[in-house]
Amino acid sequence: MNAPPTTIERNRLEATLSKTPVHVAELDSLIDLTTSLLRYLTKNRNQAIANQANAKNILSPSRRLPTKVLTEIFIRCLPLYDPGGSPLDPRAFPWRLSHVCRKWREVAIGTPKLWSSICLDFVDD
């Protein structure tokens, strides 16, 4: 049945209507605080992950390789290099080695064997 509310029901509904804006405002404030807290926690979490990654990189075993060992590894990788590409392509070996980190750059540039091969590609016209 769709009868009009009784006086008691009407009083309850009017009380609900008068309290609701205040309650919604309180909830909005809590949502704003929670959103701010979530942003803060997410930022701190991301910073912690970045710090962890940096620490792992700093402690990487490859950083402790002696220069002689690193040079030998680079030279042994040279035969795996695809000579079909352009030797001037910065993505090609040994250019890539010289862009990993400062130490690798020094080792790569200081290893003449990496730079002593020249690939010439003659095109028949």
pTM of the model: 0.55
> Residues 68, 78: contact at Cβ < 8 Å?
no
Among candidate residues 78, 70, 81, the one with its CA nearest the CA of residue 110: 70
Would you state the structure tokens that stand for residue 119, as one six-digit string? Answer: 């690939």
Q: Does residue 83 carry a pLDDT above 70? A: no
pLDDT of residue 79: 63
The reported pLDDT for the residue numbered 53 is: 96
Segment 23-68, tens digit of pLDDT: 999 999 999 999 999 999 999 999 999 999 999 989 989 889 999 9
Q: State the CB neighbour count (10 A cutoff) for residue 23.
A: 10
Question: What pLDDT was estimated at residue 15?
Answer: 94
Which pLDDT belongs to residue 2? 86
Q: Evaluate if residue 21 carries a pLDDT over 80.
A: yes
pLDDT digits (tens, 9 = 90+) for 103-122: 999 999 999 988 886 666 67
Q: What pLDDT is recorded for position 94? A: 79
Contacts of 44 by beta carbon, 8 Å cutoff, 6+ apart: none
Q: Measure the CA–CA gap between 52 and 45, rounded to whole angstroms.
A: 11
The pLDDT of residue 93 is 75
Tokens of 12: 């309850």
